[in-house]
Chain A
Amino acid sequence: MADIVVIGAGLAGLACAGALARSGADVVVLDKGRGVGGRCATRRIEGQPVDHGLCFLHGTDAAFLAAIDAVDAERIPGWPRLVAGRGTPCHPTAFDPSSRRVAFVDGVNVFAKHLARGLDVRTNTKVTNLSLDDGQIHAATEDGAVFSAHTLVFALPVEQTSALLAPVPALAGPRALLGTVCTHPCWTLIARYDGPDDPLDAEISYPPEGALQLVVHDSSKRRHPRVRTLVLQARPSWSARNLELSAEAVTAILLAEAAALLGPWAGTPSLAVAHRWRHARVDRGTGLAAPYRLALPGGVRIGIAGEAFDPVGGAEAAFRSGQRLARRIGGEDRC
């Protein structure tokens, strides 16, 4: 039995687990995915990295920036230099002069891997049920394994945390709080093109209207030789309306929009992969101010962190809320 089980190996879960482990706790991190990072995701297509979730890190928080600076990987200075379009960026302060932006040649996921170093992370481990007894909380997985602990940290999209809490009557309070938070989906398309990869007019563009919220020239972050690759992210409202469309239908619509924006070439990739991120972004109007910690009768402690639990939003919020929750579990903060 570990002291602390963390569910979710995204930036919030890794930041929390890392801080707890450094303070001497015995921590296990569980994630249903194949790798760590959650939305801080990089895929490889024929060896070339493609950032599949967030496309660069940005922030102002000293601890967050220090953690990024500690990553031993090649940066792309100044990326994105060429930003176009009158549309709204996903995060309102991403391009503030006071905010620092960091992109990695090997993909943004190197940051998550860096945070996971030295931690006991079990990937491909999906928690499906919780139960509470004898001063312990038990997380049962799809495969029938059970992880027991005195402290359980949820670092998941709020909807997934809420679903896990549902069978435990003692946790109705935190569920009511989670019910005030809302996340938005994002249809994402990776499109790969034959031929040379010359620079484009923009490394990121934000179209003012239509289905696409942003178009990223992902391969502009990669070493030569490289294959031209775009990442297309659909708007939250469009993604929500079309969430249950087939990947083929979404691919056709998003490619048609890309062709209208960039030229006919963009409509005919050699490879197109659509992905439905069900919980891509926290609604900026519904985020909370701080991670949640609850001591239950019998001594079990629950912690909840994630992007929704810090007002700055984005990856920075996820990281900060994880660290802050770790401090509160460790008892450094008041309450």
Chain B
Amino acid sequence: MLSELDELVDRDRDHECGGVGADNVCVRLVGVAQLPTRFGHFRIAAFWNNRDGKDHVAIIKGDVRGGEDVPTRLHSECLTGDALGSLRCDCRDQLESSLSKIGALDRGIVLYLRQEGRGIGLMNKVRAYALQDRGLDTVEANLALGFGDDERDYAIAAHMLRSLEVGSIQLMTNNPNKIKQLEQFGIRVSGRLPHVLPPNPYNQFYLETKAKRSGHYIDFGVRLPEQAEPVVVEGMDEPEVG
């Protein structure tokens, strides 16, 4: 039986548009399949793009085509965190939490963007870790290593949402700047859902650090900004939304 998303795969066979963003990224939806997971029953939609060999995917709960206010999360691939359980970042907590939350809803989307180390790759991420191990931890070094320039994430994400014919989204994020970026690429963002992680033994230190620092959350100077947003654990105040 063909689903409403399979029609989009047919439509995209010869899709070629001017692309999105400074890089003119264009994507095609090339396949959709069922994906039962421990976080709920999803479908997985795979996208080809005209810039590199990275296959980005959307993990989709329920009917999202034509939908309004669809809860949506953007997740950047992080091999060390997502798959290996690294404690140098919170990527696995972020991913599991978004899949659990969206898996429990009627509908929603997690865009899994294959942009390891924010697009610069695993190798540069490990080099950044190595520099941190040697005590170098500056915003500048991270920029030189490719952390911080995330325009492309949003351009690809915007095109993927457009390809899925999503009417408007509620973005699950602690970074209001992400909303602005997506809107610049023509996505209607009808609201923001805070992305709050359940506390666990590994993120306790955020709560402890909060007491010591005047700010509300850990800033990017301390850790690599792998998911382009501050971490918020239950029990912390949310970051100021500007």
Chain B associates with chain A: yes
Q: Which residues of A contact B (CB under 8 A)?
A: 173-174, 176-177, 180, 285, 288-294, 309, 311, 335
Task: Verify A292–B148 contact, CB threshold 8 A.
Answer: no
Task: Verify A290–B131 contact, CB threshold 8 A.
Answer: no
For the complex of A and B, 7 pairs with smallest distance between CB atoms: A289-B146, A288-B144, A292-B144, A176-B136, A180-B127, A173-B136, A289-B120
Whole-angstrom distance between the Cβ of B112 and the nearest chain A Cβ? 22
Q: Is B33 an interface residue (CB 8 A)?
A: no
Task: Verify B143–A335 contact, CB threshold 8 A.
Answer: yes
Contacts of B25 in A (CB 8 A): none
CA distance in complex: A174, B139 (Å): 12
Nearest A residue to B141 by beta-carbon distance?
A: A177
Task: Verify B144–A176 contact, CB threshold 8 A.
Answer: no
The total of Cβ contacts below 8 Å across the A-B interface reads 48
Contacts of B140 in A (CB 8 A): 174, 292-294, 335
Contacts of B120 in A (CB 8 A): 289, 311
Chain B residues touching A, range: 10 to 19
Whole-angstrom distance between the Cβ of B210 and the nearest chain A Cβ? 25
Whole-angstrom distance between the Cβ of A40 and the nearest chain B Cβ? 23
Task: Verify B146–A311 contact, CB threshold 8 A.
Answer: yes
Name the contact of A290 in the complex, choosing from B127, B138, B149 (C-beta under 8 A). Answer: B149
Whole-angstrom distance between the Cβ of A180 and the nearest chain B Cβ? 5
Task: Verify B134–A288 contact, CB threshold 8 A.
Answer: no
Name the contact of A177 in the complex, choosing from B131, B139, B149 (C-beta under 8 A). Answer: B131
CA distance in complex: A288, B124 (Å): 8
Q: Which of B128-165 contact A (CB under 8 A)?
A: 130-131, 134, 136, 138-141, 143-146, 148-149
Whole-angstrom distance between the Cβ of B53 and the nearest chain A Cβ? 13
Contacts A176-B134, A290-B146 known; 20 new A-B pairs at CB < 8 A: A173-B136, A173-B138, A176-B141, A177-B136, A180-B131, A285-B123, A288-B124, A288-B146, A289-B146, A289-B149, A290-B143, A290-B144, A291-B144, A292-B143, A292-B144, A293-B140, A294-B138, A309-B144, A335-B140, A335-B148
Contacts of B143 in A (CB 8 A): 289-290, 292, 335
CA distance in complex: A92, B222 (Å): 36
Contacts of B136 in A (CB 8 A): 173, 176-177
Nearest A residue to B120 by beta-carbon distance?
A: A289
Contacts of B123 in A (CB 8 A): 285
Contacts of A290 in B (CB 8 A): 143-144, 146, 149
Whole-angstrom distance between the Cβ of A178 and the nearest chain B Cβ? 9
CA distance in complex: A290, B149 (Å): 9
Contacts of B134 in A (CB 8 A): 176
Nearest A residue to B22 by beta-carbon distance?
A: A62
A sample of 28 cross-chain residue pairs with beta-carbon separation below 8 angstroms, ordered by A number, consists of A173-B136, A176-B131, A176-B136, A176-B141, A177-B136, A177-B141, A177-B145, A180-B127, A180-B131, A288-B145, A288-B146, A289-B120, A289-B124, A289-B143, A289-B144, A289-B145, A289-B146, A290-B144, A290-B149, A292-B140, A292-B143, A292-B144, A293-B140, A294-B138, A309-B144, A311-B120, A311-B146, A335-B140
Whole-angstrom distance between the Cβ of B47 and the nearest chain A Cβ? 20
Task: Verify A180–B146 contact, CB threshold 8 A.
Answer: no
Whole-angstrom distance between the Cβ of B121 and the nearest chain A Cβ? 9
CA distance in complex: A321, B97 (Å): 38
* Chain B 75-92 interface mask (CB, 8 Å, partner A; 1/0): 000000000000000000
Q: Which of B42-91 contact A (CB under 8 A)?
A: none
CA distance in complex: A291, B148 (Å): 13
Whole-angstrom distance between the Cβ of A250 and the nearest chain B Cβ? 33
Whole-angstrom distance between the Cβ of A303 and the nearest chain B Cβ? 10
Name the contact of A335 in the complex, choosing from B124, B139, B146 (C-beta under 8 A). Answer: B139
The CB with the most chain B CB atoms within 10 A, among A180, A293, A311, A335, is that of: A180
